[in-house]
């Protein structure tokens, strides 16, 4: 951290030297002719022996101490951003571990279980075999679930909003109280499935098999 701060401070002053006006507490070139010569020395000698109280170095009219404090505040904000990113990374790493423990090394369609995994939002599970799986309360929002096998699976209270379930097999699946808002169910097989009290607002059922599907109390329109 100390090394990083030193580098940042060096870069800051490098940029100041090129872009900012720096006022020093003592300027030996008193007449501003770009040379330190006798006239400059004579002016200095006029104050020889008097109390010398140097002023604070200023950068564009702002004291150096305030500039350093502002820089420290910026570094603190960056550290918070880094901590937040590290926290997100830890969460994603844990999700990967959960997937691996659940049997997902790759989503190649081999049988796996998602039981006990609370959130799978945004994942691509195309062609996965999840038949007879317990998926109640799972978050699969925005997930790609096309051509999946969900036969007889329990999806009660599942969040499937904005998910792609096109051409998946949900035969005899239970989706009571599930959230299917804006879900794509194109060509999906919902034969004998239960969608009691499910949210089906803006869902696309083009070409879906709804034979013997239970849509009791399902929400079709807002």
Cα–Cα distance, 45 to 35 (Å, whole number): 17
User: At 25, is the pLDDT very low, low, confident or very high (cuts 50, 70, 90)?
Assistant: low
pLDDT digits (tens, 9 = 90+) for 149-199: 999 999 999 999 999 999 999 999 999 999 999 999 999 999 999 999 999
Is-contact 148 130, C-beta < 8 A?
yes
CA neighbor of 174 nearest in space, from 222, 137, 139: 137
Q: Which domain-ending residue is among 73, 102, 131?
A: 102
pLDDT at 40 over 80: no
Whether 108 is in a domain gets the answer: no
pLDDT of residue 215: 96
pLDDT tens, residue by residue, 52-82: 676 777 888 888 888 889 999 999 899 999 9
DSSP state of 20: S
Q: For residue 116, what pLDDT is reported?
A: 59
Among 76, 102, 128, the domain-final residue is 102
Cα–Cα distance for residue pair 8/10, rounded to 1 Å: 5
The 8-class DSSP code of residue 4 comes to: H
The answer to whether residue 107 is domain-embedded is: no
pLDDT at 36 > cutoff 70 = yes
| Residue 180, domain extent | 120-222
**Domains contained in the chain, number:** 2
User: What pLDDT was estimated at residue 205?
Assistant: 96
Does residue 96 sit in the same domain as residue 157? no
Give exposure, 162-186, as e/b (b: 16+ Cβ within 10 Å).
bbbbbbbbbbbbbbbbbbbbbbbbb
Half-sphere exposure of 79 (CA within 13 A, CB side): 10
pLDDT in tens, 82-126: 988 888 888 777 777 766 565 554 444 444 556 556 677 888 889
- Count of beta carbons in the 10 Å neighbourhood of residue 72: 13
* pLDDT, mean over the chain: 81
Same domain for 33 and 85, yes or no, is yes
Looking at the chain, the whole-number percentage of residues with pLDDT higher than 90 is: 42
pTM of the model: 0.52
Which CATH number belongs to the domain containing residue 155 in this structure? 2.160.20.80
Is residue 200 domain-resident?
yes
Find residue 134's DSSP bridge partners.
Answer: 154
Q: What is the DSSP letter of 151?
A: T
pLDDT of residue 51 exceeding 90, the answer is no
Are 219 and 200 in contact by the 8 Å Cβ rule? The answer is: yes
pLDDT at residue 1 tops 60: no
Residue 201 pLDDT greater than 70, yes or no = yes
Mind spelling out the 3-state secondary structure of 47-110?
CCCCCCCCCCCEECCEEHHHHHHHHHHHHHHHHHHHHHHHHHHHHHHHHHHHHHHHCCCCCCCC
């Amino acid at each position: 951290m100390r090394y990083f701060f030193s580098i940042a401070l060096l870069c800051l002053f490098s940029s100041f030297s090129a872009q900012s006006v720096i006022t020093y507490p003592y300027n030996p070139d008193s007449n501003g002719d770009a040379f330190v010569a006798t006239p400059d020395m004579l002016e200095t000698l006029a104050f020889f022996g008097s109390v010398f109280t140097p002023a604070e170095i200023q950068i564009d009219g702002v004291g150096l101490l305030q500039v350093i404090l502002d820089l420290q505040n910026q570094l603190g904000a960056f550290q918070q951003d880094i901590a937040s990113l590290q926290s997100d990374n830890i969460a994603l790493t844990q999700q990967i571990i959960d997937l691996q423990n659940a049997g997902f090394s790759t989503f190649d369609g081999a049988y796996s279980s998602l039981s006990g995994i609370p959130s799978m939002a945004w994942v691509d599970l195309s062609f996965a075999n999840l038949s007879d799986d317990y998926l109640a309360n799972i978050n699969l929002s925005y997930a790609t679930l096309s051509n999946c096998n969900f036969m007889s699976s329990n999806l009660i209270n599942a969040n499937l909003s904005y998910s792609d379930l096109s051409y998946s097999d949900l035969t005899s699946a239970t989706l009571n109280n599930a959230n299917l808002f804006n879900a794509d169910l194109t060509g999906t097989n919902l034969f004998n499935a239960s969608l009691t009290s499910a949210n089906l607002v803006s869902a696309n059922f083009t070409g879906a098999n709804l034979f013997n599907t239970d849509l009791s109390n399902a929400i079709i329109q807002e």
